[in-house]
Structure 1
Amino acid sequence: MISIAIADDHKMFAKGIESLLEEEEDFVIKGLFPNGLELIEFLEDNLVDVVLTDMNMPKMDGTGVIEAVKKMGKDNKVIVLSMYDDKELYEKCIKLGADAYVLKGSDPDELIYTIREVHEGNYIQGFEKLMFQQDDGKYPDHFKERFKLSRRELEILRLIKDGKLNKEIAEILCLSQHTVESHRKKIHQKLGVSSAVELVKKAIEMNL
């Protein structure tokens, strides 16, 4: 199970995120907090795997949360949930120790995927830079290719790389075989491959 605490002064948004994440069997929400200070006070006596924090909050903002959490030395992961598509703010958060930066307008699957990847230590730092639309050749192709895929498609691609057949993938993810086959076709299209061998090669290049 991945335990999560959410700090956001917009109660409706926070409740929406809570409802979204509670649909995932491996997520458990430990608390919602209207500001960073109350979150930090909670963390002093409670263990949480991942912290989701807004940037603009009363009493203690998102940057303050990042600094305070990292000073605790408890290995809590911090994901910033921000409405600001701002490269400088992103870089500031990462420099302070944030583990990921997700825009509030992102697809819900991207947040779910990011939480799991950050918790497991598989998240590629710098992946978020793509949101700033800086296609200047500085970012490896596998960042861009990985960004094309949904969380579910990434899960399926990883299982394909591990040698799982469609039937096995369906059983592992509790999906129908038809659904897995449909996802697989979309993955082939998005990555521009035509065979299983090419697909596995792509997965390895993408560090899955």
Structure 2
Amino acid sequence: MIISIPEISIVIADDHEIFRDGFKLTLNSVENFTVIGEASNGTELIEVVNKTKPDVIITDIKMPFMDGVEATKVLMNESSNRKVIGLSMFDDDETILDMLEAGALGYLVKNAEKAELIDAVNSVYKGEAYNCRFTNSKLTKILALRKKRKTAPVKTEPLTERELDVIALLCEGYTNKEISEKYCLSLRTIEGVRLKAQEKIGAKNIAGVVVFAMQYGLYQPKKSR
């Protein structure tokens, strides 16, 4: 049986040309990855994305004129189907939450290894949040510092027990496929539960579900021993 590998088109944004060139070289060295556009700031990124319609967008956070967070907000408002990975030079706690709230599905630091970059692109391409386990430990600390934990909004439609269970597993880094296997249910059923939960809480994607769940106390991370 021959398994076809999807061709994934990518647009990258970073204000440093040397970094873009190196990053582009790394991505293009992967058999099924092709960089079809690049930008040096958020404004250019929006133009390039609208022109090329890539499968995955990888954007630096801090750029001139318009940063990655604002550009992501604009892109997601135009189409919620866009798949964005945020990129930063440092492991900056604040930017993780900012990017996820803007609608990004993944987050990477610029010194990430090639294998990690490939995993991130493939995961986000499939609509899965990348590296939830890493991000969640950070989110817990960030939300505590911001003191933003509240009760769920009154207008939010109550979540069912199954929806809460699925949300908890998403927060722990499980994929839809892993959740379907855990509950012995079809992948379509789990995706339906997840989409309904997203609709109820107004989240753009899985990463948004994780942010919402932690911010409003729907999920409590297990304490590490």
Whether TM-score is above 0.5 comes out as: yes
Question: Equivalent residue for 2:35?
Answer: 29
Separation (CA, whole Å) in 2 of partners of 1:64 and 1:130: 22
Separation (CA, whole Å) in 1 of partners of 2:8 and 2:122: 8
Q: Indicate the larger mover: 55-64 or 117-126.
A: 117-126
Q: Indicate the larger mover: 117-126 or 4-13.
A: 117-126
Q: 1:124: how far off?
A: 5.0
1:155-170 alignment, distance < 5 Å: none
Q: Which consecutive unaligned segments of at least 5 residues does structure 2 have?
A: 1-6, 142-167, 179-225
Q: Partner letter of residue 17 of structure 2?
A: K
1:163-202 alignment, distance < 5 Å: none
TM-score normalised to the size of structure 1? 0.60
Q: 1:47: how far off?
A: 1.2
Question: Cα deviation per residue 1:134-193 (whole Å; 9 max; x = unaligned)?
Answer: 89xxx98xx69x9xxxxxxxxxxx9xxxxxxxxxxxxxxxxxxxxxxxxxxxxxxxxxxx
Question: Equivalent residue for 2:59?
Answer: 53
SS where residue 125 of structure 2 aligns?
helix
SS where residue 44 of structure 1 aligns?
helix
Question: Moved runs in structure 1, 4+ residues, more than 6 A?
Answer: none
Separation (CA, whole Å) in 2 of partners of 1:47 and 1:124: 21
Question: Equivalent residue for 1:127?
Answer: 133
1:58-97 alignment, distance < 5 Å: 58-73=64-79, 75-97=81-103
Q: 1:21: how far off?
A: 0.6
Q: Which consecutive unaligned segments of at least 5 residues does structure 1 have?
A: 147-157, 159-208
Q: Indicate the larger mover: 104-113 or 119-128.
A: 119-128
Query: Structure 1 residues 128 and 100 mapped into 2: Cα distance closer, same or farther (>3 Å)?
Result: farther
Query: Structure 1 residues 130 and 94 mapped into 2: Cα distance closer, same or farther (>3 Å)?
Result: closer
Percent identity over paired residues: 34
1:9-24 alignment, distance < 5 Å: 9-24=15-30
Separation (CA, whole Å) in 1 of partners of 2:136 and 2:76: 25
Quick check: 1:8–1:53 contact (8 Å CA) kept in 2? yes
Please provide the CA RMSD for this pair. Answer: 2.9
Question: Equivalent residue for 2:13?
Answer: 7
Is 1:114 the equivalent of 2:120?
Answer: yes
Bigger RCO (CA 8 Å, 6+ sep): 2
Match 1:99 to one of 102, 105, 108: 105
Q: 1:45: how far off?
A: 2.8
SS where residue 36 of structure 2 aligns?
strand
Q: 1:72: how far off?
A: 1.4
TM-score normalised to the size of structure 2? 0.56
Separation (CA, whole Å) in 1 of partners of 2:110 and 2:130: 19
Q: 1:131: how far off?
A: 7.8
Q: Partner letter of residue 96 of structure 2?
A: Y
